[in-house]
């Protein structure tokens, strides 16, 4: 008798869960993003311009790229802003994302202590990593990795492999440290320990401008260090409760002339150079054919 009385209550709760989930998600579009984008302040500037143009509220959740994909699959994000091309292609191919659009780019930079104990300044990236590993083995240098499966961490691992090292083997070396944290925190640790690390240019300039770190840019530029950010609306047909229309509207703004203007001008006044380049505009107008070609290759857009 008691079991039969409980059945209507259980059915009611099951029917209530979708509405309860919707009420708990809070107002506005949910964007899971990389810390390297969020820490610079660019996203808040884009959100402000979006609101002023009649758009709605946007809430950003800065996590590593790997965690952003997990949040999207769990229905905790409507749109992704990430920079891990191979994982992005897989995410869309499996039906979790509707499409992917390149929205911005900048360059990774190899930074280190002012004294540059490994002597890597102006070297090609792979040779610089080999020098750091040699100096590390001799006790003259340290490396700080994010170690968080973020887009930056994945890029770092790719570069180490191309330089001839297995990242898993490096983790057992005393000179190779991991933070398991975002870009800003990793830069703080590298500065504190006088170590080298790989950073996106935007976050680095932000932290240098605030006087938070004592690091120098030692290696920069070139296709090997190109860093491309893509926007991916989560597929509402695959993930329940996703705001597909809201994600589409914000993506349209990011790709628009106004959105790309905000991307291209951000940081110029304060740092003397843009923290990001308007990649969608560069691709659309082919204003820099060499860079456009690199973007297509690195973002895996070709084919």
At the topology level of CATH, where does 108-224 sit?
A: D-Maltodextrin-Binding Protein; domain 2 (3.40.190)
- Nearest CA-CA partner of 129 in 150, 156, 168, 169: 156
Cβ neighbourhood burial of 76 (10 Å; 0-12, 13-18, 19+): middle
Q: Which of 112-115's residues contact partners 24+ apart within 8 Å by CB, and which partners?
A: 112/141, 112/190, 112/195, 112/196, 112/197, 112/215, 112/216, 112/218, 113/194, 113/195, 113/196, 113/214, 113/215, 113/216, 114/214, 114/215, 114/216, 115/194
pLDDT grade for 27, boundaries at 50, 70 and 90: low
Does 26-106+226-298 match 108-224 in CATH topology?
yes
The whole-number pLDDT of residue 218 equals 98
185 C-beta neighbours (distance < 10 Å), count: 16
The fourth-level CATH superfamily of domain 26-106+226-298 is Periplasmic binding protein-like II (3.40.190.10)
pLDDT greater than 50 at residue 21? no
pLDDT band at 1 (very low <50, low <70, confident <90, very high): very low
Chain mean position to CA 210: 21
Phi-psi region of 221 (alpha: psi -120 to 50; beta: other; left: phi over 0): left
Q: Give me the phi and psi of 40, to 5 degrees please.
A: -75, -25
Least confident window among 25-39, 97-111, 199-213? 25-39
Q: Is residue 190 a contact partner of residue 144, using CB atoms and an 8 Å limit? A: yes
Higher pLDDT, residue 128 or 25:
128
* Token couple for 194: 């006088």
pLDDT of residue 10: 39
Give the C-alpha separation, 126 to 146, whole Å.
18
Contacts of 172 (CB under 8 A, 6+ apart): none
Look at residue 26 in the predicted model and tell me its pLDDT.
58
In the chain, the percentage of residues whose pLDDT exceeds 90 is 80
Q: Map out the domains of the chain as residue ranges.
A: 26-106+226-298, 108-224
Per the rule left: phi > 0, alpha: psi between -120 and 50, beta: everything else, 147 is left
Read off the pLDDT of residues 226-272 as tens digits, 9 standing for 90 and up: 999 999 999 999 999 999 999 999 999 999 999 999 999 999 998 88
199 pLDDT above the threshold of 50 = yes
- Helix H, strand E, coil C: the string for the chain is CHHHHHHHHHHHHHHHHHHHHHHHCCCCEEEEECHHHHCCCHHHHHHHHHHHCCCCCEEEEECCHHHHHHHHHCCCCCEEEECCHHHHHHHHHCCCECCCEEEEEEEEEEEECCCCCCCCCCCCHHHHHHHHHHHHHCCCCCEEECCCCCHHHHHHHHHHHHCCCCHHHHCCCCCEEECCCCHHHHHHHHHHHCCEEEEEHHHHHHHHHCCCCCCEEEEECCHHHEEEEEEEEECCCCCCCCCHHHHHHHHHHHHCHHHHHHHHHCCHHHHCCCCCECHHHHHHHCCCHHHHHHHHHHCCCCC
pLDDT value of residue 150: 87
Strand partners of residue 229 = 104
Average pLDDT estimate for 116-130: 97
């Amino acid at each position: 008798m008691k079991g039969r009385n409980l059945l209507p209550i259980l059915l009611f709760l099951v029917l209530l869960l979708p509405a309860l989930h919707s009420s708990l998600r809070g107002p506005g579009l949910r964007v899971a993003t990389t810390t390297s984008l969020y820490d610079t302040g660019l996203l808040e500037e884009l959100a402000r311009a979006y609101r002023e143009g009649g758009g709605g509220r946007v809430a950003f959740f800065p996590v590593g790229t790997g965690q952003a994909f997990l949040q999207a699959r769990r229905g905790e994000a409507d749109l992704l802003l990430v920079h891990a091309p191979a994982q992005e292609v897989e995410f869309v191919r499996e039906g979790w994302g509707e499409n992917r659009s390149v929205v911005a780019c900048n360059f990774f930079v190899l930074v280190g202590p002012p004294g540059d104990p490994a002597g890597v300044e102006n070297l090609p990236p792979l040779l610089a990593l080999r020098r750091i590993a040699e100096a590390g083995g001799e006790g003259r240098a340290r490396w700080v990795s994010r170690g968080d499966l973020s887009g930056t961490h994945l890029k770092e691992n790719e570069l180490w492999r191309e330089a001839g090292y297995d990242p898993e083997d490096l983790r057992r070396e005393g000179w190779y440290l991991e933070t398991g944290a975002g870009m800003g925190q990793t830069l703080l640790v590298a500065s504190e320990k006088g170590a080298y690390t790989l950073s996106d240019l935007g976050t680095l300039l932000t932290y240098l401008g605030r006087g938070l770190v004592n690091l120098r840019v030692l290696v920069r530029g070139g296709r090997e260090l190109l860093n491309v950010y893509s926007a991916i609306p989560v597929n509402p047909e695959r993930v329940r409760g996703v705001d597909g229309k809201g994600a589409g509207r914000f993506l349209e703004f990011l790709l628009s002339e106004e959105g790309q203007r905000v991307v291209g001008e951000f940081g110029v006044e304060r740092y003397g150079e843009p923290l990001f380049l308007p990649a969608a505009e560069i691709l659309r107008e082919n204003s820099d054919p060499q860079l456009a070609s690199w973007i297509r290759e690195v973002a895996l857009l070709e084919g």
